[in-house]
Amino acid sequence: MQNKKSNTDLHHQIHQFVTKSFKPRLGELTDTFETNPLWQKLSGVGTQLWLDTGSIEDAQKCWTREFAALTTNNTLLNREVQTGRYDSLIAEAAKILAQFPDLSEKERIMEIAFILNAWHGLRLVETFDAYVSVEEHTDLAGDLERAVETARRYYAICPERFIVKIPFTPAGLLTTRRLSAEGIPINHTLGFAARQNYLIARIGRPKFVNVFLGRLNSFVAKNNLGPGTYVGEKTTLASQAAVKELRRAGKTDALQIGASYREGLQVIGLAGIDVMTMPPKVADQFLSLSPDEITDQTSVTYAVELNDGIDPQAVRLNTLWDINQQLIDCIDALEQEDIDAFTPDDLIDFFADHSCDDVLVRWTDAQIQTSKAEGKIPQLKNWKDDLAKKSIGLDALMNLAGLNSFIIDQQDMDDKVREVLKKTEKISVG
């Protein structure tokens, strides 16, 4: 492990390396992009438009001046890295890290992941003059101090345009709270429910909260609970309403993001929410629909269709859109504590002591491994008993699955980095 001075030197050199060829044109590119009347209509009902992609090429095909930001994540960046386009960058980064021989292999890999995220983010800023959400290495999801330090480093690279993504974990919530207090814009990701975002908005106070709505629909469909329509939409609008009410009460400045879109119709059905981040494919589908009218849908209550014999209470679908008094009381009590002195374990214990341990769950190793094996969408048969006992919420389960899927993609990217490093070392020796 590096000493403090070595860390400072390392971070400085990486900062200089990442920004050396960055040529921003902040505020100069807007008029160079075309405009689109459909996107204008959607913006006109109060929705910010973001693209959910790490591909510059894909974004260029549908970017108009109505779009404001791009979101990337471990999965999207991994796709770019796997193409090989960043192999030379990894080799250059390795030369910098070679000056710090005390770095462990894991530390080298994490620094290269930082460089890749920052470098790619800057290319997006350079191309679109967009705000860009950059995401931390998944190993930091449970490491409060290092997550705070890394977020500060990201923000310092491009404070005019970078938004830092922090995942919803106990450590992530405390990380977001600390960074938000410093004025660093945080996109608190991996949210799946109104009650999660109510908690995040009040305690973490980020700039943005999320609902991964497409994955909620997929959970219902893939587990044969119903067609899978309107689950994510109903959840997103419930979360939007909760966040909006907190803003009115002066308890947050957070904006609601609808994420994980699957089709263009969802864009129409969620018009009016604070922010939409959509893949280019969904953006194209929306444009092909050419709706005559786009109206604010935030007061709509969508009905969720389930198959005969399915008990929504047994599956705990209500945890996606309901915010009960017990949770409100828990958060009221938490705000009376010295939250900034809490550890992640303290936070979990507090929720358990206030009978809200299905919101912040202390997952067992066995549960974590089961989730990893399942992928993005949990298999209900593995969780039926826990849901019935109310020891976990469906929202918490989806959050665990989402984090584990990001971890797998992060590991895939790390393996690619190792592969490139080995090739670089062989060429150097040869």
Q: Cα separations (Å) of 252 from 160, 207, 260, 310? A: 22, 9, 24, 37
Three-state secondary structure along 414-425? HHHHHHHHHHHH
| Segments of the chain scoring below 50 in pLDDT | 1, 429-430
What is the pLDDT, as a whole number, of residue 430?
43
What is the pLDDT, as a whole number, of residue 6?
81
What is the pLDDT, as a whole number, of residue 425?
74
Nearest to 123 by CA among 31, 56, 28, 172: 56
Q: What residues contact 369, with CB distance under 8 A and at least 6 apart?
A: none
Which phi and psi (to 5°) does residue 209 adopt? Answer: -125, 165
Nearest to 194 by CA among 102, 293, 328: 328
The pTM of the full predicted model, rounded to 2 decimals, is 0.96
pLDDT tens profile 40-62: 999 999 999 999 999 999 999 99
What is the pLDDT, as a whole number, of residue 74?
87
Terminal Cα-to-Cα distance of the chain (whole angstroms): 29
What is the dihedral sign for C-alpha 42, 47, 48, 53?
A: negative
- The CATH superfamily assigned to 38-313+406-429 is Aldolase class I (3.20.20.70)
Which phi and psi (to 5°) does residue 313 adopt? Answer: -70, -35
CB distance 282 to 262 below 8 Å: yes
Determine the Cα–Cα distance for residues 165 and 64; give it in Å rounded to an integer: 24
What is the pLDDT, as a whole number, of residue 5?
56
Query: Tokens standing for 36?
Result: 């689109």
Determine the Cα–Cα distance for residues 66 and 55; give it in Å rounded to an integer: 18
